């Protein structure tokens, strides 16, 4: 009688264990793919080595990361840390405003746009998604591109940008701008590629190769077509992870595998990285150098200069909810003036 009771208890325990196992495997493995089939939310991606699932990547993932309206004082946009400028840069014929040069430099900067201060515009998805700052409508995107075209802006190739940052060339075309697109949303193919082709504009695309078969993002055929049309393609991590949350081994995989796949697919040598979610730590910077990366873009707001750390370059987030006026001010000055 006693032994029958014990075995009943064991059966109950085994049943509980099996049910726990089933619910775990459902929530971690099966549920995300079902959700993906039911909606347009892309599959969750998993970095090997770390047992950590990434968040589903959608432009809304950035919602909390960017301010409503960048609130740097206008003056701050002109005062850059000049202490790290190398002698090669100080030989440059064009003046660069510096904190040490004081008010004179600031005054000069306000009357004459300094070519060293390159606006690097940061776009994501181009579609209609009201309330989402990281998404710009095709109409607004076209309005901005036409503004650049009509007002004499020159969209840089990534090589031009690198040559200038390296000091290989000392001047850039008048009114330079670097267009960057993060994540490789499939809508970039539909709404940016034809327009930029028509305007003869250059652009740089940061993609995560782990997303290329998802359907929500650009596939390799589209990426190759964009590359052939003159777009520069560079890595954005393999699975768009939160890099600082990963072990060094996983970070190394995210960085090196993304580079390896893009290099192999496009027969190029990528050297410019873009941090997913703008996140990095000391390990990330060390790994980038070890894997031959020479420049990396953050989501820190401001114009880009040679004086900035090469692996911590600033950009200008394009807030899709804004009208064109503040976008123009930021393009010209790196920040919108605070009303005081």
Q: Among candidates 175, 115, 172, 126, which has minimal Cα distance to 149?
A: 175
- Beta strand pairing call for 272-274 and 232-235: unpaired
Q: Is 182 in the site for Zn ion (CB under 5 A)?
A: yes
Sketch the per residue contact string, 137 through 166, with Zn ion: x for CB under 5 A, - otherwise: ------------------------------
Task: Tell me the closest approach of the beta carbon of residue 304 to Zn ion, in angstroms.
Answer: 18
Closest-by-Cβ residue to Zn ion is 182
- Beta strand pairing call for 125-126 and 204-207: unpaired
Stretch that binds Zn ion, among 75-83, 143-151, 180-188, 251-259 (CB under 5 A): 180-188
User: Taking CB under 5 A as the criterion, which residues in 276-335 touch Zn ion?
Assistant: 276
Task: Tell me the closest approach of the beta carbon of residue 57 to Zn ion, in angstroms.
Answer: 7
Determine the Cα–Cα distance for residues 106 and 175; give it in Å rounded to an integer. 19
- Beta strand pairing call for 295-301 and 272-274: parallel
Task: Tell me the closest approach of the beta carbon of residue 229 to Zn ion, in angstroms.
Answer: 22
Task: Tell me the closest approach of the beta carbon of residue 123 to Zn ion, in angstroms.
Answer: 11
Instruction: Between 80 and 123, name the residue whose CB sits nearer to Zn ion.
Output: 123
Stretch that binds Zn ion, among 194-202, 212-220, 225-233, 274-282 (CB under 5 A): 274-282
Angle between helix axes 282-290 and 248-266 (nearest 10 degrees) is 40
Instruction: Between 153 and 293, name the residue whose CB sits nearer to Zn ion.
Output: 293
Instruction: Between 98 and 319, name the residue whose CB sits nearer to Zn ion.
Output: 319
Stretch that binds Zn ion, among 84-92, 179-187, 263-271, 294-302 (CB under 5 A): 179-187
Residues, the chain, total?
340
Angle between helix axes 248-266 and 220-228 (nearest 10 degrees) is 60
Stretch that binds Zn ion, among 111-119, 126-134, 171-179, 275-283 (CB under 5 A): 275-283
Instruction: Between 96 and 183, name the residue whose CB sits nearer to Zn ion.
Output: 183
Stretch that binds Zn ion, among 92-100, 163-171, 259-267, 268-276 (CB under 5 A): 268-276
CA end-to-end span of the chain, whole Å? Answer: 85
Q: Among candidates 284, 255, 282, 307, which has minimal Cα distance to 80?
A: 307
DSSP 27: I
Specify the residue for token string 């049943």: 15
Sketch the per residue contact string, 4 through 43, with Zn ion: x for CB under 5 A, - otherwise: ----------------------------------------
Q: What is 187-233 written as a DSSP string?
A: HHHHHTHHHHHHHT---EEEE-GGGTTSSSB--HHHHHHHHHTT-EE
Task: Tell me the closest approach of the beta carbon of residue 56 to Zn ion, in angstroms.
Answer: 13
Stretch that binds Zn ion, among 16-24, 34-42, 127-135, 183-191 (CB under 5 A): 183-191
Q: Is 254 in the site for Zn ion (CB under 5 A)?
A: no
Task: Tell me the closest approach of the beta carbon of residue 266 to Zn ion, in angstroms.
Answer: 19
Instruction: Between 116 and 180, name the residue whose CB sits nearer to Zn ion.
Output: 180
Determine the Cα–Cα distance for residues 267 and 265; give it in Å rounded to an integer. 6
Q: Is 183 in the site for Zn ion (CB under 5 A)?
A: yes
Determine the Cα–Cα distance for residues 216 and 183; give it in Å rounded to an integer. 10
- Total chain residues near Zn ion (CB under 5 A): 3
Judged by DSSP in three states, 82 sits in coil
Task: Tell me the closest approach of the beta carbon of residue 236 to Zn ion, in angstroms.
Answer: 6
User: For residues 44, 47, 49 and 52, what is the CA-based torsion angle, rounded to 10 degrees?
Assistant: -40
Instruction: Between 57 and 165, name the residue whose CB sits nearer to Zn ion.
Output: 57
Find out whether 152 and 174 touch, Cβ atoms under 8 Å: yes
Number of Cβ within a 10 Å radius of residue 41: 15
Residues that bind Zn ion (CB under 5 A): 182-183, 276
């Amino acid at each position: 009688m006693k032994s029958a009771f014990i075995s009943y208890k064991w059966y109950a325990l085994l049943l509980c264990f099996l049910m726990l196992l089933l619910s775990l495997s459902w929530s971690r493995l099966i549920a995300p793919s079902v959700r993906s089939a039911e909606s347009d939310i892309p599959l969750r991606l998993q970095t090997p080595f770390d047992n950590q699932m990434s968040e589903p990547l959608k432009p809304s993932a950035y919602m909390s990361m960017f301010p409503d309206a960048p609130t740097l004082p206008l003056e701050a946009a002109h005062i850059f840390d000049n202490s790290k400028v190398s002698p090669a840069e100080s030989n440059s014929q064009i003046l660069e405003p510096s904190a040490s040069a004081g008010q004179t430099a600031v005054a000069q900067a306000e009357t004459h746009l300094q070519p060293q201060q390159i606006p690097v515009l940061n776009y994501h998805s181009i579609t209609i998604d009201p309330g989402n700052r990281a998404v710009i409508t095709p109409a607004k995107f076209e309005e901005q591109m036409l503004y650049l075209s009509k007002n004499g802006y020159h969209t840089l190739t990534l090589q031009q940008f690198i040559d200038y940052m390296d000091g290989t060339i000392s001047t850039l075309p008048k009114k330079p701008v670097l267009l960057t697109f993060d994540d490789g949303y499939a809508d970039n193919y539909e709404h940016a590629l034809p327009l930029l082709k028509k305007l003869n504009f250059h652009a740089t695309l940061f993609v995560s190769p782990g997303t290329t078969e998802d359907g929500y993002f650009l596939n390799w055929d589209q990426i190759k077509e964009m590359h052939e049309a003159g777009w520069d393609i560079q890595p954005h991590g393999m699975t768009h992870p939160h890099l600082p949350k990963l072990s060094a081994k996983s970070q190394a995989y995210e960085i090196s595998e993304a580079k390896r796949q893009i290099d192999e697919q496009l027969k190029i040598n990528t050297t410019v990285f873009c941090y997913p979610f703008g996140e990095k730590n000391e390990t990330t910077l060390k790994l980038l150098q070890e894997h031959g990366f020479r420049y990396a873009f953050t989501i820190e707001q401001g114009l880009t200069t040679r004086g900035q750390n090469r692996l911590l370059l600033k950009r200008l987030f394009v807030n899709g909810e804004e009208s064109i006026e503040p976008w123009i001010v930021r393009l010209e000055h790196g920040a919108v003036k605070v009303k005081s």
